[in-house]
């Protein structure tokens, strides 16, 4: 590939970097980057092959290692998150797994905030113990207990903020200082906010992970993930990924890199719609509480304002009356999708107590802020009036007749 007429720009602005970062052009002079659907790449000669394998020069060898489409996605994400290097992976879970497993060995201990994505919780509680890796969960709302939970063999501090689905906020700067003081690798799952709203590396995160399936793709089309961090940290992840095989496909890399071109405008609109919906819900008498990081009623409103550009695309609330009412609400929705994704152009509703978190006990659910009637809305890009109208009619329909009359 030639770099001729490839007007790349490295800017201080998010939008420009997300759009004007492109791997080289071919002789066809294409404007948009093509999909490099190839398993391997040819060597110029014996010496070229030798030097690529010896890591003396960079270049593509095999698409399980690297590919121009996944590289472009990685380059953009590094600029957007402010990290040196990255590794694109086949799913968010491949990213979560490698962001921990690449750095741990038998006998190590991991500290994690309690409310994590379901499969991340399974890795920590079901898979790591098989390999002699132990963990302690700490509560998001009790930061004063975290330091005492650190052991001599603790290697990683892993967290997610805002938490899912309660939308509690962890102070990224404070957690970064704690990790540094105890020499822990500081890992943040930044999926809910995307690099547009929050950059954990600014607060000392050594490793930032994403499920790109969510807002980054933003259109419910693909599964993908990425791990970002220093050259040194990503070298460990790359070693694990190359030899165990969870590479992102060139096609999905192409989709995700194109998706980043519109991430800023989509996030602005997701957040604007979510904020308006949260304000509406606060005014609805049948709603017992609303959680949205940028509502002044959120217990950590000031902290959210400090570390997030906008409040995000997710809103949690509870309809009065508990689990039955929550289920009735979902059954009454006419437009809003009932599906297990988030960060789509289409608004999505979920009821964590009867679905994603149904295997927890009532007490475990309450520990992570999931009340029986809690509903999580991933606010999409439809017109806000239509989103609010559907939610309003479903709340109305969920109220038992005896209460209504
Ligand atoms: C969806 C999600 C994941 C897992 O990502 P996949 O792309 O589904 O594998 C991890 N963390 C968070 C916070 C998520 O929302």
Judged against a pLDDT cut of 50, whether residue 5 lies above it is answered with no
| pLDDT, average across residues 295-320 | 96
Average pLDDT over residues 120-148: 96
Asked, for residue 25, whether it belongs to a domain, the answer is: yes
Which of 240, 260, 280 corresponds to the end of one domain?
Answer: 260
The pLDDT value given to residue 138: 96
Q: Are residues 392 and 329 in the same domain?
A: yes
**pLDDT for 24:** 76
Does the Cβ of 214 fall within 6 Å of ligand 1? Answer: yes
Same domain, 197 and 83: yes
pTM of the model: 0.94
Instruction: Return the pLDDT at 365.
Output: 84
Q: Is 160 in the pocket of ligand 1 (CB under 6 A)?
A: yes
Centre of ligand 1 to C-alpha 5, Å, is: 37
Strand 225-229: give its sheet, edge to edge: 85-89, 225-229, 207-211, 185-189, 154-160, 109-113, 134-138
**Cβ(211) to ligand 1 under 6 A?**
yes
Mean of pLDDT over the chain? 93
Same-domain status, 273 and 255? no
pLDDT over 90 (residue 80): yes
5: alpha, beta or left? (left if phi > 0; alpha if psi -120 to 50)? left
**Percent over 90 (pLDDT), the chain:** 80
How do residues 200-232 score in pLDDT, each as one tens digit?
999 999 999 999 999 999 999 999 999 999 999
139-182 pLDDT per residue, tens: 998 999 999 999 999 999 999 999 988 899 999 999 999 999 99
Residues 275 and 249 in one domain: no
Q: Is 213 in the pocket of ligand 1 (CB under 6 A)?
A: yes
Percent of the chain with pLDDT over 70: 97
Instruction: Tell me the mean pLDDT in the region 69-85.
Output: 97
For residue 117, how far is its CA from the centre of ligand 1 (angstroms)?
7
Alpha carbon 150 to its chain's center: 25
Quick check: CB of 222 below 6 Å from ligand 1? no
Which tokens is 7 given?
């007007």
Q: Does residue 239 contact residue 221 with C-beta atoms inside 8 Å?
A: no
**Among 116, 117, 188, 341, residue to substitute to test ligand 1 (most atoms within 8 Å of Cβ):** 117
Mean pLDDT of 337-363: 89
Q: What is the pLDDT of residue 257?
A: 98
**Of all atoms in ligand 1, which is nearest to the CA of residue 224?**
7
- Average confidence (pLDDT) over 344-369: 87
Please tell me whether residues 229 and 333 are part of one structural domain. no
The answer to whether residues 73 and 167 belong to one domain is: yes
Q: Establish how many alpha carbons lie within 13 A of residue 150's alpha carbon, considering only the half-sphere containing its beta carbon.
A: 18
Q: Which domain holds residue 271?
A: 263-404
Q: How far is the CA of 372 from the centre of ligand 1 (A)?
A: 23
The answer to whether the CB of 117 is under 6 A from ligand 1 is yes
**pLDDT value, residue 401:** 61
Residues 166 and 207 in one domain: yes
């Amino acid at each position: 590939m030639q770099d001729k007429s490839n007007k790349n720009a490295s800017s201080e602005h998010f939008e420009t970097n997300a759009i004007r970062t492109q791997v080289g052009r071919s002789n066809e002079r294409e404007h948009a980057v093509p999909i490099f659907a190839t398993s391997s790449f040819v060597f110029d000669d014996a010496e070229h092959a030798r030097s690529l394998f010896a890591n003396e020069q960079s270049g593509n060898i095999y698409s399980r290692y690297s590919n121009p489409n996944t590289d472009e996605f990685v380059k953009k994400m590094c600029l957007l998150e402010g990290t040196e290097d990255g590794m694109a992976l086949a799913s968010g879970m491949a990213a979560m797994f490698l962001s921990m497993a690449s750095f741990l060995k038998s006998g190590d201990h991991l500290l994690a905030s309690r409310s994590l994505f379901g499969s991340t919780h399974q890795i920590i509680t079901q898979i790591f113990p098989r390999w002699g890796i132990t963990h302690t969960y700490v509560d998001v709302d009790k930061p004063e207990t975290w330091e005492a939970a650190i052991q001599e063999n603790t290697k990683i501090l892993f967290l997610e903020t805002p938490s899912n689905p309660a939308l509690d906020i962890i102070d990224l700067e404070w957690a970064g200082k704690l990790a540094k003081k105890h020499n822990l690798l500081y890992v943040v799952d930044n999926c809910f906010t995307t690099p547009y709203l929050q950059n954990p590396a600014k607060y000392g995160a050594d490793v930032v992970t994403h499920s790109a399936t969510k807002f980054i793709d933003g259109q419910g089309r693909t599964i993908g993930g990425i791990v970002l961090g220093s050259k040194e940290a990503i070298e460990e992840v790359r070693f694990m990924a190359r030899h165990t095989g969870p590479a992102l496909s060139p096609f999905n890399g192409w989709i995700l890199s194109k998706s980043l071109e519109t991430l800023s405008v989509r996030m602005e609109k997701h957040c604007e719609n979510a904020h308006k919906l949260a304000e509406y819900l606060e005014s609805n008498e049948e709603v017992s509480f609303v959680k949205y990081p940028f509502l002044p009623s959120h217990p950590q409103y000031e902290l959210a304002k400090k570390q997030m550009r906008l409040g995000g695309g997710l809103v949690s609330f509870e309809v009065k009356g508990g689990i039955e009412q929550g289920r009735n609400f979902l059954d009454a929705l006419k437009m809003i999708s009932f599906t297990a994704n988030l960060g789509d152009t289409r608004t999505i509703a979920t009821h964590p107590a009867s679905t994603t978190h149904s295997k927890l006990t009532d007490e475990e659910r309450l520990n992570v802020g999931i009340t029986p009637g809690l509903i999580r809305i991933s606010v999409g890009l439809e017109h806000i009036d239509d989103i609010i109208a559907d939610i309003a009619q479903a709340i109305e329909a969920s109220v038992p007749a005896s209460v209504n009359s």
